[in-house]
Structure 1
Amino acid sequence: MSGKSLIAYFTREGYNYVSGNIVSLPVGNTEVAAKMLQRITEADLFRIEAVKPYPEDYTKCTEVAKEELQQNARPDLTSKVDEMDSYDVIFLGYPNWWGTFPMAVFTFLETYDLSGKKVIPFCTHEGSGMGRSESDIKKLCTSAKVEKGLAIKGSNVEGAEKEIFKWAQKY
């Protein structure tokens, strides 16, 4: 991989849907995957967080996420990446919410000029794969090169390091 790399990710710990059940996760699945990817690539790590936290209750969280999607909301974020211009490669991680990524990730992507950068998505899900997230990234980042993403089933994320390694070696 040439150039400086960043892993920007959105994650949700707490109550999540895993293998047909609602369980409390001490660390969100996307964060688990992002930290594996960091060990493999030695890229910098940045967590995308909304100023207004999502509800702890899983069902309420999904309702808020659906409302944000329907309203095309752009939640404010808690922080920004310093010196985004110094990165050539952006690994972008997120859970699949309602067929795409959380609206906070839309905010993140629209905050920066990613022209000429390589954007490489990865997502966690419980059966819906990448959804339409790759095409949504391409719509938002028209001057970036958007690579083929990796979809990791959340309930399998703890054992996904070999899969992540194999995928990351392409870039």
Structure 2
Amino acid sequence: MRITILMALITMLFPGMDTNAQTAPGRKVLVAYFSHSGNTRELAQQIASATGAAVFEIVPAAAYPSEYRAVVDQAKKEIAEGDRPALKDKPESIAGYDVVFVGSPCWWATIAPPVATFLAGYDWSGKTVVPFMTHEGSRMGHSEEDIRKLCTGATVARGLPVRGGAVKSSQEAVLTWLRDINLTK
């Protein structure tokens, strides 16, 4: 009751202040994602817009084939063999970020190999890693467990799975999830 009254007074005295903000002031946030079809890119943009995060697209040095069967076969082989394909570019450091959202299509129940390459390249101690996945029925698969293994020392928050065909209309689900995990701007 006292908190409600205090928040009402703050809102009246400082009308421009966002009393719904959940992300601590000064917290640096990055959204890093790999997208093959564009669905994960769209979801990454929604998350960045809602959090005020910087955005980094994870791009493999050698592009994946555009033909569906070829991509599926290549991804299955890379995942089974633990391949870490080279990336075109990556941030020199993530030391300046407190929270890193990591997005990927769910391939064979886990993150795409370029995302594994990205995650394996940094020290995650003290960071919060927040996964999000686009899928066609597998939801998160075992990606959260796999991310925990790659991000030793990080806190891995509950991820968000969004079916690929529903991405364009997922803004409310994204906002609800971000509020639930206390990461809105």
| TM > 0.5 fold call | yes
1:66 lines up with 2:90 in the alignment: no
1:39 lines up with 2:49 in the alignment: yes
Given candidates 29, 35, 39, the residue that maps to 1:11 is: 35
Q: Secondary structure at the match of 2:72?
A: helix
Q: For the pair shown, which has the larger CA radius of gyration, 1 or 2? A: 2
Equivalent residue letter for 2:31 = I
Cα distance in 2 between the residues matched to 1:125 and 1:37: 17
Cα distance in 2 between the residues matched to 1:38 and 1:66: 30
Cα distance in 2 between the residues matched to 1:83 and 1:59: 35
Alignment of 1:152-171 (within 5 A): 152-169=162-179, 170-171=182-183
Cα distance in 2 between the residues matched to 1:142 and 1:76: 21
Cα deviation, residue 149, structure 1 = 0.3
Cα distance in 2 between the residues matched to 1:116 and 1:8: 17
Given candidates 110, 117, 138, the residue that maps to 1:107 is: 117
Cα deviation, residue 73, structure 1 = 0.2
Query: Counterpart in 2 of 1:146?
Result: 156
Q: Secondary structure at the match of 1:12?
A: coil
Cα deviation code 1:11-60 (max 9, x no counterpart): 012xxxxxxxxxxxxxx100010011111111000000110110110110
Give TM-score scaled by structure 1 length: 0.89
Cα distance in 2 between the residues matched to 1:82 and 1:152: 30
Cα distance in 2 between the residues matched to 1:113 and 1:44: 19
Cα deviation code 1:47-80 (max 9, x no counterpart): 0011011011011010000110111101000111
Cα deviation, residue 82, structure 1 = 3.9
Query: Counterpart in 1 of 2:8?
Result: none
Alignment of 1:82-93 (within 5 A): 82-93=92-103
Give TM-score scaled by structure 2 length: 0.83
1:81 lines up with 2:105 in the alignment: no
Q: Secondary structure at the match of 2:109?
A: coil
Query: Counterpart in 2 of 1:130?
Result: 140
- Give the CA RMSD over aligned residues: 0.9
4+ long deviations beyond 2 Å = none
Cα deviation, residue 83, structure 1 = 3.7
Cα distance in 1 between the residues matched to 2:49 and 2:149: 30
Cα deviation, residue 111, structure 1 = 0.6
